[in-house]
Amino acid sequence: MAVRQRFLKYRVEREVLDEQKLEEVAQRKTYSDTHRPIRERFKGSIKCTVPRLKKALVSIFPILYWLPKYSIWDYGMPDLISGISVGIMHLPQGMAYALLASLPPVFGLYTSLYPALIYIFFGTSRHISIGTFTVLSIMVGSVTERLGPNVDFLKSNGTNVTGEVDTDSRDAYRVQVAAATTVLGGLIQVVLGLVRFGFVGTYLSEPLVRAYTTAAAAHAVVAQLKYMFGVSPARFSGPLALVYTLMDICSSLPQTHVPTLVVSIVSIVILIATKEFNSFLNPKLPVPIPAELITIVAATLISSYTCLNSSYMVSVVGDIPSGLSSPRIPDVSLFGKVIGDAFALAIVGYAISISLGKTFALKHGYKVDSNQELVALGLSNTVGGFFQCYSVCPSMSRSLIQETTGGKTQMAAVASALIVLVTILKLGPLFQELPKAVLSSIVFVNLKGMFKQHSDIVTLWKSSKTDLAVWIVTWVSTLLFNTDLGLAASIVFALLTVIFRTQTPTYSVLGNVPGTELYVDIETHRDVRQIPGITIFRSSSTVYFANAELYLEALKEKSGLDISKMIIYKRRQEAKQKRREKRAERRAKRQEKREEEASQDSPWDSTGRDDDVVEKSLGKWTWDIHSIIIDLSTANFIDTVATKTIKNIFQDFSEIDVDVYIAGCQASVVEQLEVGGFFSESLTKRRLFATVHDAVLYCLNHRGATTLPGYESSIV
């Protein structure tokens, strides 16, 4: 049985409110009331009280907020289970992603340990898992390979340079490059956080980030193909480096090392099968089966017993030193060479971190501070860089595991760090026989989710062509250029789309919805009517310097009034009228003189044709439109250029006897108009109205009407 929908009704009766009356009724505060002098604000900011000190400490160290309230009974076991699950994932991902960064695998384990411990004290998210991440690893790898290429570390036999690479010296230098880049990127994040620049992440829209990670996944795959096929392609840099590298790998396929390829294929099959099994039994499994850990353990055992390295020349991880690395001061001389890469890493890492953090915070009902997240991530990178870690951010897969396995707080990160710590101290050497092809296979399979993001093209085609353009430009630029240049080009293009949208907004003429005080676009709604003699004009975006001229042109077009031509035409008519008045005056004098001289009728009497023309021309100049209402309800700010433009609109239309009014201004916009010198003796706040309907009623009353034509019975 169909349920009949019931509509509620309301009726409001009040006087028409212009801005001046509204301020009197609402008792609006003055500028001095809402804006204290700088000296007073500075004194207030440095004033120290116990509550303020406590609040400051909690904001700097968020752990002080939740740790005293931590309940071992409620949170202890869920955090422990979650931490163990995430720690198990850290091991294979840390070693595998270190290859993406062109670093020895043990440094991936370091990166999974130190930054996570730092984030516990400063981070505001309870569920993200800080550590290695695919995209950042690729970006670090592009820096380390650019500044530490193999050709710079070829061994010498005393007289000639051989083709053999001194891997120890190369890796040591690349670690220095990665550490310097990480420290510098961390410092950039800290500074941005301290100056409250957390909103910078909002400029990286979701289409941009998803396209960027999708293209970065292609870089990751190409970087791992050499390990999976056992080939040694040349390294390329600059534009089209990915294309040249892929072409070189394809040309090297005839030299594929078959045992290495077999290891890769078997590892991929096992990983995919285990992950599909996980997906099938996901509702029944309390903890997912650690596919990566099982694979590397099995591969290490098989490699050790079959001597894959010595017998079949399969490349293995090699020496993994046990024990923790001692802190070292980064090589500051490298800062100038890596500052661009460090800034790109800082921005991308923060964008991924804040997007994941806000997702989990919204789901679980807590708040994430964007500025504090910048500081927390920056300190994690800065401190981690001193321990030879490379740039970190949360991983989607690990964070989902931490959340779905019941993790409540960052104490789960303590448990996962203990797993990594034990591995570094005791178990690291056991993985020395692990084939690098297995780690590459782990990276390859884990990128499946990123490659699925290509389906965004279909979704965005249906929803937003502009976002689709951002996606495609980001994807193409990141593929063709390095990840840092690709990111820069993507951000520039995304900002251009914002400018383009504000420069080409939708301009509308509004009409009244019968029986209501609502006004909508007459072109997109059928049952609305334009108020006779009144043009209600609205822009879909705010008015500012970039579109002020376009705004004026659109108003002329929509109103049908070409002000310049009409002013010229009016002045010509006024000049003609003055000439006619003078001629009429001269004729009247001659007529009077003739009447005195003669008694017969004069041909220049008062009923003559010319006097009729003069009489008609003496009336007030009028047009079909007598009032224009500018709806500024969409404007959230107004700059000096827009202020002057609107003021000129008032002056120009007054020249042709058309009244102009403004409706729907926010209080901040009214204040900006006031500060910008918009108001004067002739242009007061009486020309501004609270709503469009207020302005319409005033216009009609001003012109002698009392109600809207055709709607007398429905509108009050």
Tens-place pLDDT, residues 207-257: 988 898 888 888 888 888 988 999 988 777 778 888 888 999 999 999 999
Tell whether 439 and 532 lie within a shared domain. no
Tell whether 512 and 438 lie within a shared domain. no
* pLDDT, tens digit (0-9, with 9 covering 90-100), for 695-711: 999 998 887 765 665 54
Tell me which of 326-335, 339-348, 366-375, 651-660 is least confident.
Answer: 651-660
Residue 610: per-residue pLDDT: 43
For residue 321, give every residue at least 6 positions away whose Cβ sits within 8 Å of its Cβ, in sequence order, or none: 106, 428
Q: Is residue 44 situated within a structural domain? A: no
Tell whether 411 and 526 lie within a shared domain. no
Q: Contact at 8 Å (CB) between 372 and 62?
A: yes
- Three-class secondary structure of residue 18 per DSSP: strand
- Three-class secondary structure of residue 436 per DSSP: helix
Query: Percentage of the chain surpassing pLDDT 70?
Result: 89
Q: Measuring CA to CA, how many Å separate 554 from each of 70, 506, 508, 539? A: 61, 10, 9, 9
Count Cα atoms within 13 angstroms, Cβ side, for 666: 10
pLDDT category at 411 given cuts 50, 70, 90 is: very high
**Identity of the highest mean pLDDT range in 8-12, 115-119, 229-233, 344-348:** 115-119
* pLDDT, tens digit (0-9, with 9 covering 90-100), for 554-585: 998 888 887 777 777 777 777 788 878 788 87
Count Cα atoms within 13 angstroms, Cβ side, for 572: 6
Tell whether 198 and 340 lie within a shared domain. yes
Residue 321: per-residue pLDDT: 84
Tell whether 381 and 447 lie within a shared domain. yes
Tell whether 539 and 407 lie within a shared domain. no
Q: Once rounded to an integer, what is the mean pLDDT over residues 407-415?
A: 93
Q: Once rounded to an integer, what is the mean pLDDT over residues 67-88?
A: 90
pLDDT category at 111 given cuts 50, 70, 90 is: very high
* pLDDT, tens digit (0-9, with 9 covering 90-100), for 3-29: 555 667 777 788 888 888 888 887 776
Tell whether 250 and 356 lie within a shared domain. yes
Residue 154: per-residue pLDDT: 83
pTM of the model: 0.75
Q: What CATH number is associated with residue 529?
A: 3.30.750.24
Q: Is the pLDDT of residue 716 over 50?
A: no
Tell whether 441 and 521 lie within a shared domain. no
Q: Once rounded to an integer, what is the mean pLDDT over residues 490-512?
A: 87
Residue 713: per-residue pLDDT: 37
Q: Once rounded to an integer, what is the mean pLDDT over residues 418-437?
A: 90
Q: Is residue 329 situated within a structural domain? A: yes
Tell whether 429 and 517 lie within a shared domain. no
Residue 6: per-residue pLDDT: 63
pLDDT category at 38 given cuts 50, 70, 90 is: low
| Structural domain count, the chain | 2
Q: Which domain holds residue 637?
A: 507-564+623-703
Q: Is residue 192 situated within a structural domain? A: yes
Distance CA 153, CA 166 (A): 5
Tell me which of 20-34, 134-148, 283-297 is least confident.
Answer: 20-34
Q: Is residue 29 situated within a structural domain? A: no
Q: Is residue 32 situated within a structural domain? A: no
Q: Contact at 8 Å (CB) between 497 and 469?
A: yes
Tell whether 513 and 388 lie within a shared domain. no
